Amino acid sequence: MKSKLSILVLFVLAGVLALVNPVKGESNNISNIELVELGDIDDQVLFDLRERLEKLFGISVSIITHMPDTDYAYDGNRNQYDSMAILSKMPKPDDKNLKIVGITDHDLYAPGRKFVFGENDAAKGVCVISLARLHQSYYGFPEDRALFLERALKEVAHEVGHLIGLSYSPEADNVMHPYENIEEIDCINNYYCIDKK
């Protein structure tokens, strides 16, 4: 009886762990992430972000630099860039397990929204994030590089989470929680749904 109970407990535990930590390489449709520089991004930001993403996801992250800027997506009336237009121009990866993350310094919007921190096309396997509103200086405060990089990691992890099939979380501290402002991003401290450490 004890051994049957032990086996049952192990199966239940394995099921819980699979739900809590769904990213396990190929089986969850991710083997590599490409960070694509859209415009002119500080190289050190890209290097730091790559290092943090490799640690978080436990996979290889490469950087593609000097891609064309996103002038085609600019809306002069809003002084912003259309995230959906950018996504439509991003190439679909040949490998379904490769996820492409476009990174821009431009402020982004989506139809019906004042702004977006990022946007994704899960069917295509691509997303784009904006660094513009992740800087403390955007809000009139002195720049804080560590906080900026933490916010960028959260935004990339959130969008890549959607690319690998994760839905929104109701938990406010979870990286997959939907957020509308920088304060909500700063409340995120839980990566358990994608953390491979």
Residue type, 189: N
The tokens of 189 are what? 């401290």
Residue-wise burial string across 126-151, b where 16 or more C-beta atoms lie within 10 A, e elsewhere: bbbbbbbbbbeeeeeeeeeeeebbbb
Name the active-site residue from 37, 119, 155, 159. Answer: 159
Is the CB of residue 185 less than 8 Å from the CB of residue 151?
Answer: yes
Q: Is 159 a catalytic residue?
A: yes
d(CA 157, CA 196): 12
Residue type, 71: D
Catalytic residues: 159
